[in-house]
């Protein structure tokens, strides 16, 4: 079967930790053909199907010079693939949004796309938690500086973050002294032009910001706790957090069991839920990661579980 990965440039992959690479490696091991393209190559013309310039590759087994181009298809119709996997990393900007519409058109033409394009649009990664208020810390979404100040007065120790950030960018903590709160609000909301999220600080962050992976609605039995280092409040691996794999806690499992069937029914084959303590902070659907870190530390093959689920869905 041909599997088409819509992703960032292959040359940019960090194969020692890249989850898309882990998917490709497991799929190739099973004999599937691996194809890849970037979202910028997607196109549609009236009277023709959605197509892209696609490279068919083989994996070399080398982590640096890791792929070889076997063929290039300048106008490959997406519906010709057995499955299309949308694995473009955030940010979810206008171009990502447009790509989901092209992928939606490809679906109408017969393509099988994972995660489902409409579901990607319907689940912005920070705002998707609002549907599940029983599992989140006190949270505010607003443009208004007065709302943020009132929230801080109530909770005293808060986290502020932009709705379109990734990898921990733009996240601020403000303690009881409210130091720089006004400046931070201005930075994040652009004088009231942009919406931001504010949450009560969860002190369990010292034990890690846990990534709970859901595949076809079922939780991977291990999480990756991304633990802040030094004076850093953020656990994201992109800003130096230390990734430590550990078994699902009872709280993690309760969240997974509540969200898993709901999100899977909407066409989200792979979801990454972020949890601090027992509080959910984000629902990641664009390009969830941590496959390799979990596999390397626990021996549990996340990529195998994912490709099993993908094959079962086709």
The residues annotated with a catalytic role in the active site are 126, 161, 211, 226, 234, 274, 282, 284
Is residue 195 within 8 Å of residue 189, measured between CB atoms? yes
Whole-angstrom distance, CA of residue 278 vs CA of residue 266: 24
Is residue 185 within 8 Å of residue 145, measured between CB atoms? yes
Whole-angstrom distance, CA of residue 284 vs CA of residue 270: 9
Long-range pairs, 50-56, Cβ under 8 A, ≥24: 50/77, 50/78, 50/79, 50/102, 50/103, 50/105, 50/106, 50/109, 50/111, 51/75, 51/76, 51/77, 51/78, 52/4, 52/6, 52/76, 52/78, 54/4, 55/10
């Amino acid at each position: 079967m041909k599997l088409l990965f819509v992703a960032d440039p292959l040359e940019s992959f960090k194969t020692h930790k890249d989850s898309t690479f882990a998917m490709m490696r497991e799929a190739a091991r099973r004999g599937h053909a691996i194809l890849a393209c970037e979202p910028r190559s997607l196109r549609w013309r009236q009277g023709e199907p959605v197509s892209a310039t696609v490279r068919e590759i083989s994996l070399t087994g080398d982590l640096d010079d890791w792929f070889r181009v076997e063929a290039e298809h300048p106008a490959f119709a997406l519906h010709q693939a057995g499955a299309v996997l949308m694995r473009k990393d955030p940010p979810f900007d206008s171009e990502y949004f447009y790509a989901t519409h092209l992928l939606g058109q490809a679906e109408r033409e017969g393509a099988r796309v994972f995660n489902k394009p409409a579901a990607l649009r319907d689940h912005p990664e920070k705002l998707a938690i609002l549907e599940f208020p029983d599992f989140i810390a006190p949270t505010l979404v607003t443009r208004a500086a007065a709302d943020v100040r009132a929230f801080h007065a109530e909770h005293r120790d808060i986290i502020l973050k932009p709705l379109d950030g990734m990898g921990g960018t733009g996240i601020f903590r403000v303690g009881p002294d409210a130091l720089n709160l006004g400046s931070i609000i201005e930075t994040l909301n652009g004088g009231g032009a942009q919406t931001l999220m504010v949450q009560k600080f969860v002190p369990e962050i010292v034990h890690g910001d846990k990534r709970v992976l859901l595949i076809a609605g079922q939780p991977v039995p291990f999480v990756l706790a991304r633990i802040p280092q030094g004076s850093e409040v953020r656990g994201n691996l992109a800003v130096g957090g230390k990734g430590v794999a550990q078994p699902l806690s009872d709280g993690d499992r309760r969240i997974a069991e509540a969200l898993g069937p709901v999100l899977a029914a909407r066409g989200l084959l792979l979801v990454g839920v972020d949890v601090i303590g027992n509080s959910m902070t984000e629902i990641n659907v664009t390009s969830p990661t941590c496959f390799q870190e979990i596999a390397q530390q626990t021996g549990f093959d996340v990529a195998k579980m994912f490709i099993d689920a993908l094959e079962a869905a086709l």
